[in-house]
Amino acid sequence: MHIPATDYRLRSTQRARSVLCLLSSVSCLLLAACAITEPSSRPQMPMPEQWSEPLPVARAESGVESSVAAEWWQGFASAELNRLLEIAFRDNPDLLISAERVRQAEIALRLTSAARLPNVNANLGTSKSRSTPDGGTTTRREASSLGVSMSYELDLWGRIAATVAAGEASLQATRFDHATARLSLAASVTSVYFESLAAGERLRIAEENLAAAERILAIVEARHRHGVATSLDVSQQSTTVLAQRAALIPLAVQARQLRSALALLLGQMPQDMNLAGEPWADLRIPLLIPEMPASLLTRRPDIAAAEASLAASDANVAAARAALLPGVSLSASGSLGSEVLLDLAHPTRSLSVALSLAQNLFDGGRLRLQTESARSQRAVQIIHYAQVVRAALKEVEDALGNVEKTARQETAQQAVLAQASRSLRLAELRYREGAGDLLSVLESQRTVFSARDQLVTLRLSRLQAAIELARAMGGGWIK
DSSP for 239-282? HHHHHHHHHHHHHHHHHHHHHHHHHHHHT--GGG-------GGG
Q: What average pLDDT does the chain have?
A: 84
How is residue 434 annotated by DSSP?
T
Mean pLDDT for the stretch of residues 256-278:
87
* 151 backbone dihedrals φ, ψ, rounded to 5°: -135, 145
Q: Is the Cα torsion angle 226, 227, 231, 232 positive or negative in sign?
A: negative
Kindly indicate the confidence band of residue 72, based on its pLDDT and cuts at 50, 70 and 90: very high
- Rounded percentage of the chain residues whose pLDDT exceeds 90: 40
Whether the per-residue pLDDT at 7 is higher than 60: the answer is: no
Residues 338 and 344: beta-carbon distance below 8 Å = yes
How is residue 130 annotated by DSSP?
E
Mean pLDDT for the stretch of residues 161-173:
93
Comparison of pLDDT for 17 and 174, the residue scoring more? 174
Q: How far is residue 421's CA from residue 449's CA, in Å, rounded to a whole number?
A: 9
Q: How far is residue 334's CA from residue 149's CA, in Å, rounded to a whole number?
A: 6
pLDDT of residue 34: 52
* DSSP states along 159-171: HHHHHHHHHHHHH
pLDDT of residue 82: 93
pTM: 0.82
Q: How far is residue 272's CA from residue 282's CA, in Å, rounded to a whole number?
A: 26
**What order do you get walking across the sheet with 327-338 strand by strand?**
119-131, 139-154, 327-338, 348-358
Which residues neighbour 258 within 8 Å (Cβ) at sequence distance 6 or greater? Answer: 192, 195, 196, 199
Q: How far is residue 468's CA from residue 162's CA, in Å, rounded to a whole number?
A: 39
Mean pLDDT for the stretch of residues 442-446:
82
Which residues neighbour 148 within 8 Å (Cβ) at sequence distance 6 or greater? Answer: 120, 121, 122, 123, 333, 334, 335
Kindly indicate the confidence band of residue 95, based on its pLDDT and cuts at 50, 70 and 90: very high
Q: What is the pLDDT of residues 387-435, one digit of tens each?
A: 999 999 999 999 999 999 999 999 999 999 999 999 888 888 887 777 7
Q: Is 63 exposed, middle or buried (0-12, 13-18, 19+ CB in 10 A)?
A: middle
Comparison of pLDDT for 277 and 258, the residue scoring more? 258
Mean pLDDT for the stretch of residues 175-198:
96
| Region class of 134: left (phi > 0), else alpha (psi between -120 and 50), else beta | beta
How is residue 402 annotated by DSSP?
H
Report which of 352, 355, 357, 346 is spatially closest to residue 15, judged by C-alpha positions.
352
Residues 327 and 131: beta-carbon distance below 8 Å = no
* 145 backbone dihedrals φ, ψ, rounded to 5°: -150, 150
pLDDT of residue 359: 83
Residues 173 and 309: beta-carbon distance below 8 Å = yes
Q: How far is residue 31's CA from residue 35's CA, in Å, rounded to a whole number?
A: 9
Give how far the C-alpha of residue 403 lies from the chain's centroid of Cα atoms, to the nearest Å.
25
Mean pLDDT for the stretch of residues 437-465:
88
Q: What is the pLDDT of residues 14-55, one digit of tens each?
A: 544 544 454 444 444 444 445 566 677 778 888 898 998 888
Comparison of pLDDT for 190 and 119, the residue scoring more? 190
Q: How far is residue 102's CA from residue 180's CA, in Å, rounded to a whole number?
A: 13
Angle at 22 between CA 18 and CA 28, to 5 degrees: 145
Residues 203 and 251: beta-carbon distance below 8 Å = yes
pLDDT of residue 36: 66
pLDDT of residue 61: 53
Q: How far is residue 166's CA from residue 108's CA, in Å, rounded to a whole number?
A: 11
Q: What is the pLDDT of residues 320-371, one digit of tens each?
A: 888 888 888 888 887 777 776 666 667 778 888 888 888 888 888 888 998 8
Q: If DSSP codes are grouped into helix, strand and coil, which group holds residue 329? A: strand
pLDDT of residue 58: 65
Whether the per-residue pLDDT at 64 is higher than 80: the answer is: no
Q: How far is residue 306's CA from residue 382's CA, in Å, rounded to a whole number?
A: 9
Report which of 181, 244, 177, 182 is spatially closest to residue 208, judged by C-alpha positions.
244
- Domains of the chain with bracketed CATH: 38-117+158-325+366-472 (1.20.1600.10)
Q: Dihedral, CA atoms, 181, 182, 188, 189, nearest 10 degrees? A: 150
Highest mean pLDDT: which of 16-30, 50-64, 228-242, 461-475?
461-475
* 451 backbone dihedrals φ, ψ, rounded to 5°: -65, -40
Whether the per-residue pLDDT at 4 is higher than 60: the answer is: no
pLDDT of residue 10: 46
pLDDT of residue 364: 84
Angle at 201 between CA 195 and CA 205, to 5 degrees: 145
